Amino acid sequence: METNKQLISSTNRSRINSDKVNLSVSISKIKKNTHELSKMYDFKKYMDSSDMNFPEEMDEMIPKDTPPYLDNGEHYVERIGRALKFFKQCALIGPSGTGKTHIVYLVAELAGLPMWEINCGLATSVFDLFGRYVGLGKENWIDGLITGWCRKGGILYLDEANMMKQDVATKLNPLLDQRGHMVLTEKDSEIIHRHKHAYMIISMNPVSSEFAGTKPINAAMRRRMSVWLNFDYMSVGDNIDEKEISMVSKKGGIPMVDAESIVKVGAKLRQEYKMGDLPYGPSVGDLVNWAKICSDGMSIMDGGNETLIPMTSDDPEVQDEVRHIVKKVLESQAAAKKKGVN
């Protein structure tokens, strides 16, 4: 019996030690990744993760392993950090696929802040956002996402904010000015003061017919956001970013010369989209997906027919227009390459 107890005890110690090793390795990887990111950005002078302290159960809400954000010297990461330090909120505006959500996750990881993410385009009720009583009577109250953020802190990220319901925007206004509190009318008008490390970032696409349901942000909220940052694609028209070519090549697993062709096609399509001639402009992720298909041995044109071209529109005429643009850019690239060889 004693031998069995010793065996069980030994087994438990081994399991515990093993768990500690795994946990240590996991934490080391997270710290290493965040440390590597922090060296890329001058972010600590605005927000330092060592100053943030949240309950252990919120650790899983802090983004991990977020890829770096590449820009053309705009220093978006630092500018968002500065806006949050000075004003506690800011707004990001730009077309889909320009990295707005990506950079919010990156900022949250660098600052060590939990993320509370809400897509305002979804049919989310006020009860889901602010809370409600469940069951009979008023014994069991459950906080909504915004209420939880207000009490506990972190980054509240409102995506597609220009699709936000007016009643939600109105309830947010007292949180975003000098009052710094919310009145929870759903819970006997309880007043909840904004956590000292509660920050808000909103993002939106430009108001247009393409994005159904978008409308200008009301003036009251617009005044409270203080800082507005405009985002754009890395490559548009004839302005080609070498970093985007490198990224598509690396992540897509294709040679640089093929990545250059794909990025140049994407840049042309984005130009047409911004001029209103196409319904969609491809993101970096779209171009990487196209490259991944090509890495399996498919030609660039055939890869485009399977990925980017049908993604742009369901309309056959629009697809033919995109196909024509792709062919034209690829032919131009081939001619330039041939001329260079000769």
DSSP readout, 183-204?
A: EEGGGTTEEEEPPTTEEEEEEE
Q: What is the pLDDT of residue 3?
A: 44
In a domain, 107, yes or no: yes
Cβ burial, residue 145 (10 Å; 0-12/13-18/19+) = middle
167-173: list long-range contacts, CB under 8 Å, 24+ apart.
167/126, 168/120, 168/126, 168/129, 169/217, 169/218, 169/220, 169/221, 170/220, 171/126, 171/130, 171/146, 172/146, 172/221, 173/220, 173/221, 173/224
> Quick one: pLDDT at residue 186?
84
- Last residue of some domain: 207, 230, 253? 230
Pair 283, 216 in one domain: no
CA gyration radius for the chain? 25
248-306 confidence digits (pLDDT tens): 999 999 999 999 999 999 999 999 988 888 888 999 989 999 999 999 999 999 999 99
pLDDT range class, residue 60, cuts 50, 70, 90? very high
pLDDT digits (tens, 9 = 90+) for 203-218: 998 765 454 556 778 7
226 & 247 share domain: no
The arithmetic mean of pLDDT across residues 42-70, rounded, is: 89
Residue 309 shares a structural domain with residue 189 = no
* Residue type, position 254, single letter: I
Q: Are residues 83 and 211 in the same domain?
A: yes
Average pLDDT rounded to a whole number, residues 155-164 = 90
pLDDT tens figures, 289-300: 999 999 999 999
Instruction: Report the range of poorest mean pLDDT among 126-135, 176-185, 190-199, 317-326.
Output: 126-135
Helix, strand, coil share (%) of the chain residues, nearest 5: 55, 10, 35
pLDDT tens figures, 120-141: 877 667 778 898 888 777 778 8
Residue 154 maps to a domain: yes
DSSP 260-285: HHHHHHHHHHHHHHHTTSSS----HH
- When divided into structural domains, the chain yields a total of 2
The CATH number covering residue 222 comes to 3.40.50.300
Looking at the fold, whether 119 and 256 belong to one and the same domain comes out as: no
Return the SS3 of 298: coil
64 lies in some domain: yes
The H or E element containing residue 158 is: strand 154-159
| pLDDT band, residue 164 (cuts 50/70/90) | confident
Minimum mean pLDDT among 50-54, 76-80, 283-287: which range?
A: 50-54
Domain boundary among 182, 197, 230: 230
Q: What are phi and psi of 201, to 5 degrees?
A: -125, 130
Identify the burial level of 2 via C-beta atoms within 10 angstroms of its C-beta, where 0-12 means exposed, 13-18 middle and 19 or more buried.
exposed
Q: Which of 91-100, 159-168, 241-250, 313-322 is predicted least confidently?
A: 159-168
| Predicted pLDDT of residue 14 | 38
Task: Give the pLDDT mean for 183-207.
Answer: 90
The answer to whether residues 203 and 264 belong to one domain is no
- Residues 216 and 269 both lie in one domain: no
Q: Is the pLDDT of residue 25 over 60?
A: no
d(CA 165, CA 56): 33
Q: Which of 268, 325, 266 is nearest to 290 (CA)?
A: 266
Largest CA distance in the chain: 86
Residues in CB range of 64: below 8 A, 6 or more apart: 30, 33, 109
| Side chain identity, residue 169 | A
Q: What percent of the chain has pLDDT over 70?
A: 86
Q: Do 125 and 253 fall within a single domain?
A: no
Task: Answer yes or no: do 309 and 287 share one domain.
Answer: yes
Residue ending a domain, choose from 183, 209, 230: 230
Is residue 68 located within the same domain as residue 111?
yes
Is 254 in contact with 294 (CB distance < 8 Å)?
Answer: yes
The reply to whether 90 falls in a domain is: yes
Q: Is the pLDDT of residue 50 over 80?
A: yes
Residue 53: pLDDT band (50, 70, 90) is confident
How buried is 296 (Cβ within 10 angstroms: 0-12 exposed, 13-18 middle, 19+ buried)? exposed
* Tokens 């430009």 -> residue: 206
* One domain for residues 49 and 148: yes
Q: Does one domain contain both 262 and 294?
A: yes
> What's residue 24's pLDDT?
35
The arithmetic mean of pLDDT across residues 189-199, rounded, is: 94
Host domain of residue 220: 36-230
Assign 61 a pLDDT band (cuts: 50, 70, 90): very high
Mean pLDDT value across the chain: 84
In-domain check, residue 5:
no
